[in-house]
């Protein structure tokens, strides 16, 4: 029987699915450090990974390793150069989380613009004594300009929702999307600089890479309107968190909504000193149904990638399909 490692606690029935095909070594505790993950991978044929880093050292130390399945759409936790060099297939879980993540992007953007968590804290602290004309006045979503940076599948799902709020949609992406998609979304392509100057609400949905590192830093924040909000549902590192803290402190922009952070879960604690930021612990895809769909898709990828089950040899979501040809 082939051996697989599961890096974090996951739905028990998904572990049971894996046990039908494999000898499973399931880690049942807090996230492991990289060297312990590497040690657990050393004798394995495959792995089910939930966002943990799998780098060159782990790959080099696991001669039997064939498939590493990520339960996430983003896979910046994988060193794909090392995967390719050693013929290891990486897989991810796209599409099943698009709508749930887009819903959350809206929830976070709206909570940020309308100061929902800040006002709830005020209420919980017993500070609500009377109605006031200027209490927690925020900025409107309806009729405003949405700026989407990253017009992939989640960015498009997010932009599609803007129609119901009569918003103007501008977007920036590495390449323009097809004209029919622009027409369907009523979305106008803009340079990053132009988008930052014009948008009332900027939402980040780009994958993390060396190229997207600090897409938003001091210079970019300086271009935004003082009334604008910034929402990040993509990855930590796309925003320069220290620069954002400084901009929020100086009210250079109105507010930010953040689901992801540099160094998470050890995020910059200075965020906690600010009232104009909404903070959530990387939960954009966390509906019960979607997390189940992601876990099952990650299992499908691992099972098929290791040559088992109904799709043996043909996993649904290969990141580096060329290794399958070898
Ligand atoms: C979550 O962050 C994902 O990449 O799926």
- Mean pLDDT for 25-43 is 96
What is the CATH number assigned to the segment(s) 98-279?
3.40.50.720
Mean pLDDT (whole number) for 245-265: 98
Q: How many residues appear in the chain?
A: 326
Confidence of residue 326 (pLDDT cuts 50, 70, 90): confident
Q: Which of 8, 50, 71, 73 to mutate to test the pocket of ligand 1 (most atoms within 8 A of CB)?
A: 73
Distance CA 117, CA 304 (A): 43
Distance of CA 162 to CAs 113, 134, 143, 151, 159, Å?
A: 15, 27, 9, 14, 5
CATH topology agreement for domains 3-94+288-325 and 98-279: yes
- Residue ranges per structural domain of the chain: 3-94+288-325, 98-279
Give the residue, by CA position, lying nearest to ligand 1 atom 4.
74
CA of 233 to the centre of ligand 1 (A): 9
Return the closest-CA partner of residue 91 out of 326, 325, 288, 323: 323
pLDDT at 160 over 90: yes
Model confidence, pTM: 0.97
Residue 278 contacts residue 257 (beta carbons within 8 Å): yes
As a whole number of Å, the end-to-end CA separation of the chain is: 22
Band of the pLDDT at 153, cuts 50, 70, 90?
very high
Rounded Cα–Cα distance for residues 300 and 174 (Å)? 31
CATH superfamily of 3-94+288-325: NAD(P)-binding Rossmann-like Domain (3.40.50.720)
Q: For ligand 1, is residue 72 a contact (CB within 6 Å)?
A: yes
Quick: pLDDT tens for 161-198. 999 999 999 999 999 999 999 999 999 999 999 999 99
């Amino acid at each position: 029987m082939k051996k697989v490692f599961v890096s974090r606690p996951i739905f028990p029935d998904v572990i049971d699915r894996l046990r039908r095909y494999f000898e499973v070594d399931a880690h049942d505790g807090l996230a492991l450090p990289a060297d312990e993950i590497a040690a657990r991978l050393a004798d394995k044929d495959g792995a089910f990974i939930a966002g943990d880093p799998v780098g060159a050292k782990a790959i080099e130390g696991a001669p039997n390793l064939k498939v590493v399945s990520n339960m996430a759409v983003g896979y910046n936790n994988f060193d794909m150069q090392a995967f390719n060099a050693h013929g290891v297939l990486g897989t991810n879980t796209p599409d099943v989380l698009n709508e749930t993540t887009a819903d959350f992007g809206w929830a976070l953007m709206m909570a940020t613009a309308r100061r929902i968590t800040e006002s709830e804290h005020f209420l919980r602290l017993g500070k609500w004594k009377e109605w006031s004309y200027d209490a927690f006045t925020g900025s409107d979503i309806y009729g405003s300009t949405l700026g989407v940076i990253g017009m992939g599948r989640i960015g498009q799902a997010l932009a599609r929702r803007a129609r119901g709020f009569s918003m103007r949609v501008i977007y920036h992406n590495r390449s323009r999307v097809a004209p029919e998609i622009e027409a369907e979304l009523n979305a106008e392509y803009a340079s990053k600089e132009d988008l930052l100057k014009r948008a009332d609400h900027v939402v980040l949905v780009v994958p993390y890479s060396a190229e997207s590192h600090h897409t938003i830093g001091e210079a970019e924040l300086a271009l935004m309107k003082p009334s604008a909000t910034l929402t990040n549902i993509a990855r930590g590192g796309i925003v320069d968190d220290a620069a954002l803290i400084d901009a929020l402190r100086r009210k250079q922009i109105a507010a930010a909504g953040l689901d992801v952070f540099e160094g998470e879960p050890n995020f910059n604690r200075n965020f906690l000193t600010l009232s104009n930021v909404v903070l959530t612990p990387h939960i954009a895809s966390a509906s019960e149904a979607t997390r189940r769909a992601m876990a099952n898709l990650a299992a499908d990828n691992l099972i098929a990638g290791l040559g088992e089950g109904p799709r043996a040899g043909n996993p649904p979501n290969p990141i580096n399909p060329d290794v399958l040809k070898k």
